[in-house]
Amino acid sequence: MSNSDITVDFEKRRQLEKILGADHISYCYQCGACVGDCPSARFDPSFNPRTIVLKALMGDIDELTGENSIIWHCSNCYNCYERCPQDVRPVEVIIALKNISSKSGKSEEGILTIAKRIKDTGRSVPIMGSIEKMREGLGLPPLAVIDCTDLSIILNPENKDKQK
Amino acid sequence: MKLAFFPGCLIPVKYPFMEAAIRKTLPPLGIEIVDLPGFTCCPDPIYFKAADNLDWLTVAARNLCIAEEAGMEIFTICSGCTGTLSEAHYMLENEELRSKVNERLARIDKEYKGTAKVRHIVAILRDDIGMDKITASVKRPLKNVMVAIHYGCHLLKPSHIMRVDDPDDPHVMDYLVRAIGGETCRHKEWYLCCGKACESDQIKEDMTKCVLDSIKQMEADCMGMICPSCFSSFDLGQIILSRKYKDSALDQKMIPPVYYFQLLGLAQGLSPQEVGLDRHKIKPTSVLQKIGI
């Protein structure tokens, strides 16, 4: 690739940098420390946090935030956050890309289901019928019903007047 | 010592035996468990955060507010909750971000001032309770029980936020196991992620299998677990892998994962049922044999 082939879409890059967690992206000098200690890269060389950050720096994020994107192969282990000498926090950049993907309805199945369950029930895990019996057998109190009024207000600002 | 209990979701709803072990083993160590009303999911650092990072931080800040208002330190028992609450606390040291989140919290008459304190219970046991007190609570030492510790990821990293231990050479779990009479071993792949939070089934399977294959080179009686997500990878996850790799080493010898506080409960004289070991898919038979049960 000659220099003339490189284009940077600054608008898209700024859009990403505005998302919480992706604000250190421009510190990256492409050293690859994140790759050396990445368990997903070890088992699937097509997953590479350094090239994900490079693409993000070029503003080339449409494919990364599209359906079945490689970003979902991140195991969220935080090794890259630990290793990065520049405090780029590659895993947070990947999460910011996931935010874009989720907002356009292109995230992996299950992400929005779990997010909705937390908003509706206050819990990330659904309560199965047999659980109360198991809890009782272990001498534990029944699970409390979580009041989610606060969540609906802080997560959907326009709901405030309706609910309070 | 009075501490606010943050039970999370996965443990009370899916693995309540871990909650039972916590509630039964901490009082003998002088910890009074306080259940504060109003906590929700931490929220989870994988899915909820992937949907919207700012929503994630806001819900975490609301949970921190509850403990801050009560003037109590939070203790967590799940690595995911520890990660979320510690990271949120760290991020909210940034005043600009804190006022952005507080604008939302003001709608429910809350304000996060930034003074919450959150620690995983293992850090509290090491730093405030001490190993001697744990040893003093033991009635049935885990003599000759070899435990392969699986630290998992989110208890330790990012280390400057978690401040639990050195992620490259952690010892907290080893000290805790030795305090109840057991021994620990570090296998070749001790550092590897269990794969639970990866959306690629193949990578997830390869990681779990790699850890298990490595432990099988050791003479371990069980895995010592501290994270409920890792537990699910190595309990039900191991059963699924053993069916797929029939007649391999994976199928022939299962390594039972056991939450540390279940081991502590056994050592304190509780029965296997009282700490819910009968609820595991893979029963820790050789652990029980070695301590004469």
Composition of chain A by helix, strand, coil, percent to 5: 55, 0, 45
Termini Cα distance of chain A: 59
* CATH number of the domain located at residue range(s) B2-121 in this protein: 1.20.1050.140
The answer to whether A112 contacts chain B (CB < 8 Å) is yes
- Residue A126 preceded by cis peptide, ω within 30: no
Please classify residue A7 by burial: count the beta carbons closer than 10 Å to its beta carbon, then call 0-12 exposed, 13-18 middle and 19+ buried: exposed
The set of residues, in sequence order, having a beta carbon less than 8 Å from that of B61 and lying 6+ positions away, is: B88, B92, B101, B102, B105, B112
Q: Do residues A18 and A38 touch, judged by C-beta distance below 8 A? A: no
User: Whole-model pTM?
Assistant: 0.96
Residue B154 exposure: Cα atoms within 13 Å on the Cβ side: 29
Q: Do the Cβ atoms of A75 and B193 come within 8 Å?
A: yes
Q: Which CATH class is domain B136-290?
A: alpha beta
Q: Chain B, 64-93: which have a CB under 8 Å from a chain A CB? A: 83, 91
Q: Which phi and psi (to 5°) does residue B32 adopt?
A: -95, 120
Q: Would you give per-residue pLDDT tens digits along chain B (293 residues)? A: 999 999 999 999 999 999 999 999 999 999 999 999 999 999 999 999 999 999 999 999 999 999 999 999 999 999 999 999 999 999 999 999 999 999 999 999 999 999 999 999 999 999 999 999 999 999 999 999 999 999 999 999 999 999 999 999 999 999 999 999 999 999 999 999 999 999 999 999 999 999 999 999 999 999 999 999 999 999 999 999 999 998 787 778 899 999 999 999 999 999 999 999 999 999 999 999 999 99
How far off is chain A from B110, nearest CA to CA, in Å?
A: 10
Domain positions in chain B? 2-121, 136-290
Q: Which domains does chain A have, with CATH numbers?
A: 3-103 (1.10.1060.10), 111-163 (no CATH)
Q: Residue A138: which of B16, B57, B157 has the nearest Cβ?
A: B16
d(CA B177, CA B156): 18
Dmax (CA) of chain B: 60
d(CA A122, CA A128): 15
Total residue count of chain B as it appears in this document: 293
Chain A residues whose CB is inside 8 A of the B197 CB are 75-77
Tell me the Ramachandran region of residue A8: left when phi exceeds 0, alpha when psi lies from -120 to 50, beta otherwise.
beta
* CATH topology match: B2-121 vs B136-290: no
Q: Which residue out of A23, A125, A148 would a mutagenesis test of the B interface target, given it has the greatest number of B Cβ atoms within 10 Å?
A: A125
